[in-house]
């Protein structure tokens, strides 16, 4: 099976091509930025690369040069949506095997791929071309990795922090609203750490009854209290050698905070009813949606415990801060819902996509996951229609508070210029102000002849 690296920062278009190529027997890996693509190229060898000419952090010609200068040499096909013949000619001069103009016709792309690949698609693969529709499609190959890097500035900053702190033994405090994926980030830190082969124990501090908290965290011996019919291993001992994730740490009682601080300082725990201390080697990652500094001022949270947990802090961005990642999350959650519900839904209609993009998502990723799963369950077709979405998504967003929003705006060019000025020329920030993604902004800049 030929392996293709697809580099395209338009998430919807990228996933459509990925699905099409997988149905035609190719193994596809997607990257949304040049830096992501280079990292994937360092990790494995590909039989073919398909890259957009314009990328948020570089361009396709740079990718082409990097490939030709490395040991990962393979055929490169460039895509351009800007009818830049000079770019295509330059690419061919630099060693690209072919180029294709957008809008890309899937059958034409398939022909170009087959022409430039010595390795043929796997025999028996589904050779039926995907019909060209306006619907957004996603892979139905099953659930993918829980942690999604994303392509937004907020996501890239988050991932940089994860990569930076993961190899250390520092305690980490993850701060963010409910539903933003704090546990997924904690697990990603564990998976990238030196402790990845050991246990990752996640504890919801708000779900532990006060009277059983000591037993839950530190364990107990048989007969130590009524109901203790056998020895119990606590969370600290279970996480020995690995990572202990304490979710919603602000819910712990003051008394348990004292015990927790002692365990973290001495790296020893004593099960309830035992006279023997057990040494533990753990890394602690805590998470909260509360303002712990205010809790400290109110006398509800110990300041010394706060500083012990907060050797390094990570703030989780809300979903509305990650507009460019929204549809990427939708596709992954769609795959997971299909796998769990044993269905074959391939995407959402154009109208449904617009409703998803225009909603504020106050419940963040948890709410999005519920909406996608519910939609997959209710859908009787491959494409989810607008009518299936929950009622709250069908109410048009009020953008009067946002002077830059392009949603139903008539004076587009003026608003784009105002947003660029407000953002100091930063295209990603300007796109967020305008409620659009970067690719759409690039197209509008070209359309209006705006040069920076």
Q: Where are the beta strands (DSSP E) in 42-97?
A: 48-52, 76-80
In sequence order, the 6+-apart residues with CB closer than 8 A to the CB of 160 are none
The answer to whether residues 376 and 343 touch, using CB atoms and an 8 Å cutoff, is yes
CATH classification number, 161-315, choose in 3.40.50.150, 3.40.640.10, 2.40.70.10, 3.40.50.300: 3.40.50.300
**pLDDT value of position 264:** 92
Is pTM beyond 0.85? Reply is: no
**pLDDT value of position 287:** 96
List the domain boundaries for the chain: 3-132, 161-315, 320-393
pLDDT at residue 186 greater than cutoff 90: yes
Name the residue with higher pLDDT: 323 or 375: 375
Q: How confident is the model at residue 112 (pLDDT cuts 50, 70, 90)?
A: confident
What homologous superfamily is domain 3-132 in, according to CATH? Response regulator (3.40.50.2300)
**pLDDT value of position 123:** 39
**pLDDT value of position 93:** 67
pLDDT at residue 85 greater than cutoff 90: no
pLDDT at residue 184 greater than cutoff 80: yes
Pairing between β-strand 243-247 and β-strand 283-288 as defined by DSSP bridges: parallel
**pLDDT value of position 136:** 37
Contacts 24+ apart (CB under 8 A), 355-361: 355/386, 355/389, 355/393, 355/394, 356/326, 356/327, 356/330, 356/389, 356/393, 357/323, 357/326, 357/327, 358/396, 358/397, 358/407, 359/392, 359/393, 359/397, 360/320, 360/397, 361/318, 361/319, 361/320, 361/326
The answer to whether residues 352 and 184 touch, using CB atoms and an 8 Å cutoff, is no
Question: Mean pLDDT, to the nearest integer, of 207-218?
Answer: 82
Q: How confident is the model at residue 285 (pLDDT cuts 50, 70, 90)?
A: very high
Q: Which fold has domain 320-393?
A: Helicase, Ruva Protein; domain 3 (1.10.8)
**pLDDT value of position 135:** 37
Question: Mean pLDDT, to the nearest integer, of 120-142?
Answer: 36
Segments in 267-389 forming alpha helices (H): 292-297, 303-309, 326-341, 350-358, 364-378
Name the residue with higher pLDDT: 89 or 448: 448
In sequence order, the 6+-apart residues with CB closer than 8 A to the CB of 269 are 217, 218, 219, 234, 236, 237, 263, 277, 278, 280
Name the residue with higher pLDDT: 364 or 320: 364
Name the residue with higher pLDDT: 298 or 119: 298
What length is written for the chain?
A: 452
Maximum average pLDDT range among 232-246, 396-410, 415-429: 232-246
**pLDDT value of position 81:** 62
**pLDDT value of position 243:** 96
pLDDT at residue 253 greater than cutoff 70: yes
Q: How confident is the model at residue 406 (pLDDT cuts 50, 70, 90)?
A: low
The answer to whether residues 163 and 188 touch, using CB atoms and an 8 Å cutoff, is no
pLDDT at residue 9 greater than cutoff 60: yes
Q: How confident is the model at residue 410 (pLDDT cuts 50, 70, 90)?
A: low
**pLDDT value of position 133:** 31
Name the residue with higher pLDDT: 156 or 187: 187
**pLDDT value of position 89:** 62
**Tokens, residue 30:** 């997607």
Q: Give pLDDT tens digits for 425-452.
A: 887 778 877 877 676 787 788 888 888 7
pLDDT at residue 408 greater than cutoff 60: no
Q: Residues of the chain with pLDDT > 70: what percent?
A: 85
pLDDT at residue 210 greater than cutoff 90: no
**pLDDT value of position 121:** 41
Q: In the predicted model, what is the mean pLDDT of the chain?
A: 82
pLDDT at residue 400 greater than cutoff 70: no
Could you tell me the CA-to-CA distances from 160 to 185, 287, 320, 321, 343 in Å, in that order? 12, 18, 20, 17, 36
pLDDT at residue 103 greater than cutoff 80: no
**pLDDT value of position 120:** 41
Maximum average pLDDT range among 91-105, 212-226, 266-280: 266-280
Q: Residues of the chain with pLDDT > 90: what percent?
A: 36
Q: How confident is the model at residue 306 (pLDDT cuts 50, 70, 90)?
A: very high
Per DSSP, the three-state class of 172 is: strand
The least confident of 108-117, 314-323, 336-345 is 108-117
Is there a shared CATH topology between the 3-132 domain and the 161-315 domain?
yes
């Amino acid at each position: 099976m030929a392996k293709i690296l697809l580099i395209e920062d338009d998430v919807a278009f990228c996933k459509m091509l990925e699905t099409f190529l997988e149905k035609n027997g190719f193994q596809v890996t997607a990257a949304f930025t040049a830096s992501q693509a280079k990292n994937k190229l360092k990790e494995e060898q590909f039989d073919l690369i398909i890259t957009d000419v314009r990328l948020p952090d570089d361009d396709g010609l740079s990718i082409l040069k990097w490939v030709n200068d490395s040991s990962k040499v393979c055929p490169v096909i460039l895509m351009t949506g800007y009818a830049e013949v000079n770019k295509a000619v330059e690419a061919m001069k630099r060693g690209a095997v072919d180029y294709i103009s957008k809008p890309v016709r899937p059958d034409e792309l398939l022909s170009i791929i087959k022409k430039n690949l010595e390795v043929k698609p796997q025999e028996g693969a589904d050779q039926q071309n995907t019909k060209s529709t306006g619907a957004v499609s996603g892979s139905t190959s099953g659930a993918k990795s829980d942690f999604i890097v994303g392509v937004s500035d907020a996501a890239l900053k988050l991932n940089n922090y994860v990569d930076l702190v993961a190899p250390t033994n520092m305690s980490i405090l993850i701060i963010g609203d409910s539903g933003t994926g704090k546990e997924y980030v904690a697990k990603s830190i564990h998976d990238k750490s030196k402790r990845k082969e050991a246990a990752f124990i996640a504890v919801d501090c708000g779900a532990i009854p006060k009277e059983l908290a000591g037993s839950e965290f530190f364990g107990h011996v048989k007969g130590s209290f009524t109901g203790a019919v056998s020895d119990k291993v606590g969370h600290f001992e279970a996480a020995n050698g690995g990572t202990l994730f304490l979710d919603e740490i602000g819910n712990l009682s003051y008394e348990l905070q004292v015990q927790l601080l002692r365990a973290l300082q001495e790296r020893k725990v004593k099960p309830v009813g035992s006279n023997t201390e057990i040494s533990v080697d753990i890394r602690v990652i805590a998470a909260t949606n509360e303002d712990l500094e205010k809790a400290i001022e109110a006398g509800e949270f110990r300041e010394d415990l706060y500083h012990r947990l907060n050797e390094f802090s990570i703030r989780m961005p809300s979903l509305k801060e990650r507009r460019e990642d929204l549809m990427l999350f939708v596709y992954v959650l769609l795959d997971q819902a299909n796998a769990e519900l044993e269905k074959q839904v391939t995407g959402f209609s154009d109208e449904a996509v617009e409703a998803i993009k225009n909603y504020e998502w106050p419940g963040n990723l948890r709410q999005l996951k519920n909406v996608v799963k519910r939609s997959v369950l209710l859908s009787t077709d491959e494409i989810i229609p607008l009518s299936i979405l929950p009622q709250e998504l069908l109410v048009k967003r009020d953008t009067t508070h946002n002077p830059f929003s392009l949603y139903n705006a008539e004076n587009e060019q003026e608003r784009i210029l105002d947003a660029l000025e407000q953002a100091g020329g930063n295209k990603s920030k300007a796109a967020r102000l305008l409620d659009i993604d970067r690719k759409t902004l690039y197209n509008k800049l070209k359309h209006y002849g705006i040069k920076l």
